[in-house]
């Protein structure tokens, strides 16, 4: 399959149509942004690393029975995925307090959250991704209640699989964001990507941050830590 027209260009990825109407190609760029796109930088090799980590994690989740749009890796920066109609709502699962939750509720970073929490945010940079609830999402026709229920169930299932995967590799999965969409046959699928750009990962032994917070907080060595995440998971960065 080849790329035909560019369908969409996001903050870190481009989506291309292919000759097959049901499949699109996701191209991972080195662009890294924070604060709703206000701060942007190119981080050499990030696209290659995130494409590999995403392929590894999505394959792992598919093997666990999670419906994912990911089909296969095509090159160091590209992956083939099912075409989805995206639900414009982000699902966030948290195992420890960090980021916006710490700010919003005045919690201490690292506070264990048991049971894990689940939040919804509307995907909208201009409005800084406002938090919403089921009632608003349903009334504003962004998703049905059945879809929301499925998104929550799948997100928490993804969490239990990934907490275990990361723990075995001496990493703590603090929180993450998922996006879902509907495939041509109507199935709700996990879309977008899973990479250190969209989750928080702390070294289980030292507590060091290994994710995009290194970029947001100017901690340095962003790509070095992404590579370390890949290495610990056993992701082969050289495999096409
Ligand atoms: O900022 P906040 O604490 O709400 O983020 C929770 C998790 O979701 C973090 O892992 C963050 O990287 C991710 N996230 C994301 N894209 C957004 C908002 C949050 O990947 N637009």
What is the ipTM for the molecules in this complex? Answer: 0.98
Residue 81 contacts residue 69 (beta carbons within 8 Å): yes
**Each residue's pLDDT tens digit, 25-79:** 999 999 999 998 899 999 999 999 999 999 999 999 999 999 999 999 999 999 9
| Separation between Cα atoms, residue 175 and residue 201, nearest integer Å | 8
Q: Which atom of ligand 1 sits closest to the CA of residue 176?
A: 10
**CA 197 / ligand 1 centre spacing (Å):** 9
Evaluate if pTM is beyond 0.90: yes
Report residues whose beta carbon is within 6 angstroms of any ligand 1 atom.
Answer: 90, 92, 98-101, 129, 175-177, 198-200, 212
Q: What pLDDT is attached to residue 84?
A: 98
CA distances, 121 to each of 14, 22, 101 (Å):
22, 27, 12
**Each residue's pLDDT tens digit, 125-181:** 999 999 999 999 999 999 999 999 999 999 999 999 999 999 999 999 999 999 999
Q: What pLDDT is attached to residue 237?
A: 87
Q: Which residues of 200-225 are buried (b: 16+ CB within 10 A; e: fewer)?
A: bbbbeeeeebbbbbbbbeeeeebbeb
**CA 16 / ligand 1 centre spacing (Å):** 25
Burial-class residue 132 by CB neighbours within 10 Å (0-12, 13-18, 19+).
middle
């Amino acid at each position: 399959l080849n790329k035909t027209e560019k369908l969409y260009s996001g903050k870190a990825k481009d989506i291309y149509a292919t000759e097959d109407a049901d499949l699109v190609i996701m191209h991972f760029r080195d662009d890294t942004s924070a604060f709703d796109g206000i701060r942007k930088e190119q981080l050499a090799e990030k696209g290659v690393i995130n494409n590999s980590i995403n392929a590894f994690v999505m394959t792992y989740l598919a093997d666990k029975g999670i419906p994912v749009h990911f089909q296969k890796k095509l090159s160091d920066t590209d992956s083939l995925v099912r075409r989805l109609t995206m639900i414009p709502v982000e699902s966030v699962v948290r195992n420890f307090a960090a980021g916006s939750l710490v700010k919003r509720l005045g919690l201490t970073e690292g506070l264990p959250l048991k049971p894990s929490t689940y939040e919804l945010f509307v995907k909208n940079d201009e409005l800084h991704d406002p938090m919403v609830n089921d009632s608003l999402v349903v009334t504003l026709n962004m998703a049905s209640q059945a879809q929301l229920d499925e998104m929550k169930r799948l997100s928490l299932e993804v969490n239990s699989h990934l907490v275990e995967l990361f723990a075995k590799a001496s990493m703590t999965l603090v929180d993450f964001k998922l996006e879902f969409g509907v495939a041509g046959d109507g199935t709700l699928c996990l879309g977008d990507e899973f990479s250190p750009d969209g989750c928080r990962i702390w070294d289980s032994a030292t507590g060091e941050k290994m994710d995009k917070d290194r970029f947001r907080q100017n901690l340095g060595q962003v790509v070095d830590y992404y590579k370390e995440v890949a290495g610990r998971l056993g992701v082969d960065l050289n495999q096409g």
